[in-house]
């Protein structure tokens, strides 16, 4: 972690903010798991426990105008991007105050206000979308980067290879962020890939690619800064493999028969919050009361999100078919001719 | 008679009508671009886009790798980023490689995002049998696509629709799929040089009649009109409806015709089981059951992969004689 500590952007204030963002995701999702057992949240619920350093390291480096395409494990991405926690939790409650009106749930958080193009629950399905967003921006002369998050499971999909090839072939401003947590649901990377060094696959498409310790938020941020600078300078894609680990089950229905408890415990000792907090403490950069303050601020935000979601309302079933198609086709048609 | 207007009509093929529609769209709106396999330097598998890259350049007539899912998804993303892409999939059979993007993204995003994002994308593809291209280039799967809420499905059968539907589809805020039957590309006719957009969502009566309603679309329209001409020789006055839009279906036109003729046969190049013809039949039964004088008939493709050999291919898909026979059977004159 000391390798990048001298970078001017790593002020004490910034480090505390990174810590807070990670704690915010962790505590929020802890509450989500609790609400799931209470059946306030239903369906599939995929938690990010252990992987927080990826979203927190990458997303704040993006500009407001940039775009994000995420996966079904995207609560962290949405929160760091600035989708209000109230709207994220209300979505998981299925309430119409949710960020997708309760239509998407945990796996499909959308927010046009922050250019958040959704949790995509088709593994690999978001990559072509990200390529297209970048193509559209490039053709319109817009200086926008699209950040596309996906897991190691997506690497086995054809869409991964099609998308990397298209982005490199056409020179499109996409930041591919592979969250390699070593398992596609329960299938270990080594059981599904002949080449487990994922960034090499990107390099084979003549794309700038690097792997980074995804449990080290500062290393992730430094890599993201390098990547974004390269994309903005050259207008070409960049591939960032963040090597991380999912400490909890794949979803709430997963008995985790496919991995040893000892393996999970070993990774838990490397997890990103403990790591950053320990480093800050060792370097006398944080006071215990500051940590307490972070936890109490986060608790208050979570309490507010729960209250907001509890008070939320159900979209009337009479509106079920709304927005299958655009409603104001006539107006949009008129706008088209302007 | 307006001689000036008459002489101003131009002779062209369906293929040229589609090409003019594409060129016109690119000229009119800088957000429109076309991408697909071999659309540029090659000029299109069916020569539809021949010459367009020379006029518009490789950015706007964009050749793609053989990555149907990748470039269809890229079309969706580009549409969401403010462009108006036209994605060409070489044939409906190949579109299955892009089905994930069409169904799970394009058709879904508006509803699933609570109306925050839409996908104003047009996807064109060739469909149908008749060129001895065998079982991986000849199927008619537009009926499958018509099953999907969130998209619109068009089947232009005439020069006017080939020229005018693209314009309307590009104005639509939601994804529109256009199916061009391969047997129509060489069909020629006359069209006004300034032919413009046509409405979608409405069926059209191509031949008015009083004895039976023959309901069809796409490549089968012309066979059905020929069948109607045969039937006329035998004193049977058939009405021929061109569905034009397969989703949403224009129930009103179908039901009004059936209420008038009291008999119906549906002609659909898709396979019979679970077909668009089944859907049309069901709607007739739901909405005009008491107006029918007999069972609704269907002429569909035989339930086999379309074979290569000419005589087998002919036997596999709807033909004029089969349509006329089905109409006579429905009238009890078999």
Tally Cβ neighbours within 10 Å of residue A53: 30
Mean pLDDT, rounded, for A277-295: 95
Q: Are strands A146-151 and A67-71 parallel, antiparallel or unpaired?
A: parallel
Q: Are strands A146-151 and A174-180 parallel, antiparallel or unpaired?
A: parallel
Instruction: Evaluate whether residue B11 is within a structural domain.
Output: yes
pLDDT digits (tens, 9 = 90+) for B230-285: 999 999 999 999 999 999 999 999 999 999 999 999 999 999 999 999 999 999 99
Q: Look at residue B7 in the predicted model and tell me its pLDDT.
A: 55
Residue A338 has pLDDT above 70, yes or no: no
* Residue of chain B with shortest Cα separation from A111: B116
* Residue of chain A with shortest Cα separation from B171: A333
Instruction: Evaluate whether residue B142 is within a structural domain.
Output: yes
Residue A84 has pLDDT above 60, yes or no: yes
User: Would you place residue A329 in the very low, low, confident or very high pLDDT band (cuts 50, 70, 90)?
Assistant: low
Q: Is the domain of B234 the same as that of B123?
A: no
Task: Please give the DSSP secondary-structure letter assigned to residue A179.
Answer: E
- Specify the CATH number for the domain of residue B286: 3.40.50.920
Last residue of a domain, one of B157, B191, B225: B191
Q: Is the domain of B158 the same as that of B226?
A: no
Last residue of a domain, one of B123, B158, B191: B191
Instruction: Evaluate whether residue B283 is within a structural domain.
Output: yes
Q: Which residues of B touch A119 (CB under 8 A)?
A: none
Instruction: Evaluate whether residue B297 is within a structural domain.
Output: yes
Give the residue numbers spanning the domain of B17: 3-191
ipTM of the complex: 0.94
Q: Is the domain of B131 the same as that of B173?
A: yes
Q: Is the domain of B44 the same as that of B159?
A: yes
Q: Quote the CA–CA distance of B161 and B21 in Å, as a whole number.
A: 10
Instruction: Evaluate whether residue B196 is within a structural domain.
Output: no
* Contact assignment for A324 to B149 by CB distance below 8 Å: yes
The label of the residue with tokens 């963002």 reads A21
Q: Is the domain of B123 the same as that of B251?
A: no
φ, ψ (nearest 5 deg) of residue B297? -100, 160
> What token pair was written down for B211?
């004895």
Instruction: Evaluate whether residue B199 is within a structural domain.
Output: no
Q: Which residues of B touch A102 (CB under 8 A)?
A: 114
Instruction: Give the relative orientation of helices A217-234 and A272-282 as an angle to the nearest 10 degrees.
Output: 100
| Distance set, CA A202 to CA A16, A112, A147, A162, B35 (Å) | 33, 29, 15, 11, 24
- Specify the CATH number for the domain of residue B63: 3.40.50.970
Q: Is the domain of B126 the same as that of B257?
A: no
Tally Cβ neighbours within 10 Å of residue A305: 22
Number of folded domains that form chain B: 2
Q: Look at residue B2 in the predicted model and tell me its pLDDT.
A: 43
Contact A114, A120 (CB under 8 A): no
* Residue of chain B with shortest Cα separation from A97: B114
pLDDT digits (tens, 9 = 90+) for A182-196: 999 999 999 999 999
Q: Is the domain of B10 the same as that of B98?
A: yes
pTM: 0.95
The 3 state secondary structure assigned to chain B is CCHHHHHHCEEEEHHHHHHHHHHHHHHHCCCEEEEECCCCCCCCCCCCCCCHHHHHHHHHEEECCCCHHHHHHHHHHHHHCCCEEEEEEEEHHHHHHHHHHHHHHHCCHHHHCCCCCCCCCEEEEEECCCCCCHHHCCCCCHHHHCCCCCCEEECCCCHHHHHHHHHHHHHCCCCEEEEEEHHHCCCEEEECCCCCCCCCCCCEEEECCCCEEEEECCCHHHHHHHHHHHHHHCCCCEEEEECCEEECCCHHHHHHHHHHHCCEEEEEEEECCCCHHHHHHHHHHHHHHHHCCCCCEEEEECCCCCCCCHHHHHHHCCCHHHHHHHHHHHCCCC
Picking from A133, A258, A237, the residue whose alpha carbon sits closest to that of residue A177 is: A237
Q: Which residues of B touch A134 (CB under 8 A)?
A: 77, 81
Q: Is the domain of B272 the same as that of B137?
A: no
Look up B139 and say whether it is catalytic.
Answer: no
Look up B137 and say whether it is catalytic.
Answer: yes
* Contact assignment for B80 to A100 by CB distance below 8 Å: no
* Contact assignment for B114 to A101 by CB distance below 8 Å: yes
Give the residue numbers spanning the domain of A108: 2-336
Last residue of a domain, one of B191, B219, B250: B191
Q: Is the domain of B183 the same as that of B236?
A: no
Q: Is the domain of B152 the same as that of B248?
A: no
Mean pLDDT, rounded, for B135-150: 96
φ, ψ (nearest 5 deg) of residue A174? -120, 130
Q: Quote the CA–CA distance of A242 and A199 in Å, as a whole number.
A: 9
Q: A–B: how many Cβ contacts below 8 A?
A: 156
Q: Is the domain of B260 the same as that of B174?
A: no
Candidates B16, B37, B88, B137; catalytic one: B137
Q: Look at residue A1 in the predicted model and tell me its pLDDT.
A: 45
Q: Is the domain of B164 the same as that of B226?
A: no
- Specify the CATH number for the domain of residue A117: 3.40.50.970
């Amino acid at each position: 972690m000391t390798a990048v500590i001298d970078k001017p952007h790593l002020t004490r204030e910034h480090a505390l903010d990174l810590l807070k963002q990670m704690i915010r995701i962790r505590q929020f999702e802890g509450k989500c798991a609790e609400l799931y057992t209470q059946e306030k949240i239903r369906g599939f619920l995929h938690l990010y426990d252990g992987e927080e350093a990826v979203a927190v390291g990458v997303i704040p480096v993006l500009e407001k105008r940039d775009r994000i395409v995420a996966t079904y494990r995207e609560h962290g991405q949405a929160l760091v991007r600035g989708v209000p926690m109230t709207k994220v939790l209300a979505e998981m409650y299925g309430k119409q105050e949710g960020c997708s009106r309760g239509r998407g749930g945990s796996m499909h958080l959308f927010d046009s206000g922050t250019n958040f193009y959704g949790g995509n629950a088709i593994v690999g399905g978001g990559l072509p979308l990200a390529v297209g967003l970048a193509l559209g921006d490039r053709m319109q002369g817009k200086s926008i980067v699209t950040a596309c998050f996906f897991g190691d499971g997506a690497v086995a999909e054809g869409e991964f290879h099609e998308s990397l090839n298209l982005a490199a072939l056409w020179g499109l401003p996409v930041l591919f962020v592979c969250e390699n947590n070593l398992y596609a649901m329960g299938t270990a990377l080594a059981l599904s890939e002949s080449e487990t060094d994922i960034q090499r696959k990107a390099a084979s498409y003549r794309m700038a690619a690097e792997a980074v310790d995804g449990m080290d938020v500062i290393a992730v941020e430094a890599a993201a800064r390098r990547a974004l600078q390269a994309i903005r300078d050259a207008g070409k894609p960049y591939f960032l493999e963040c090597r991380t680990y999912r400490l909890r089950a794949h979803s709430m229905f997963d008995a985790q028969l496919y991995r040893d408890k000892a393996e999970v415990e070993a990774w838990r000792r490397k997890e990103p919050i403990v790591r950053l907090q320990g480093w800050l403490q060792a370097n006398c950069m944080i006071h215990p009361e500051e940590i307490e303050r972070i936890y109490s601020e986060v608790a208050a935000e979570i309490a507010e999100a729960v209250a907001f979601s509890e008070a939320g309302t159900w979209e009337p079933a009479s509106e079920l078919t709304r927005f299958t198609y655009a409603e104001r086709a006539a107006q949009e048609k008129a706008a088209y001719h302007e | 008679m307006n001689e000036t207007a008459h002489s101003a009509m131009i002779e062209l093929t369906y293929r040229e009508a589609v090409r003019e529609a594409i060129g016109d769209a690119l000229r009119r709106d800088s957000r429109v671009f076309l991408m697909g396999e071999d659309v540029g330097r090659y000029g299109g598998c069916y020569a539809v886009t021949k010459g367009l890259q020379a006029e518009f350049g490789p950015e706007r007539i964009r050749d793609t790798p053989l990555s149907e899912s990748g470039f269809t998804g890229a079309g969706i993303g580009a549409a969401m980023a403010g462009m108006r892409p036209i994605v060409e999939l070489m044939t409906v059979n190949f579109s299955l490689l892009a089905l994930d993007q069409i169904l799970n993204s394009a058709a879904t995003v508006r509803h699933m995002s609570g109306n925050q994002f839409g996908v104003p994308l047009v996807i064109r593809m060739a469909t149908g049998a008749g060129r001895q291209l065998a079982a991986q280039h000849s199927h008619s799967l537009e009926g499958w696509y018509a099953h999907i809420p969130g998209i619109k499905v068009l089947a232009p059968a005439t020069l006017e629709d080939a020229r005018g539907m693209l314009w309307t589809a590009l104005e639509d805020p939601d994804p529109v799929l256009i199916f061009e039957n391969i047997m129509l590309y060489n069909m020629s006719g006359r069209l006004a040089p300034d032919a413009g957009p046509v409405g979608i969502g409405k069926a059209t009566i191509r031949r008015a009649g009083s004895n039976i309603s023959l309901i069809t679309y796409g490549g089968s329209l012309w066979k059905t009109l020929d069948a109607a001409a045969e039937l006329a020789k035998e004193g049977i006055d058939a009405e021929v409806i061109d569905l034009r839009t397969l989703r949403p279906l224009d129930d009103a036109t179908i039901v009004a015709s059936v209420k008038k003729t009291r008999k119906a046969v549906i002609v659909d190049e898709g396979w019979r089981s679970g077909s668009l013809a089944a859907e049309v039949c069901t709607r007739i039964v739901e909405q005009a059951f008491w107006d029918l004088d007999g069972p609704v008939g269907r002429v569909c493709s035989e339930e086999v992969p379309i074979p290569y050999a000419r005589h087998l291919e002919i036997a596999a898909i709807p033909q004029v004689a089969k349509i006329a026979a089905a109409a006579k059977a429905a009238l009890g004159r078999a």
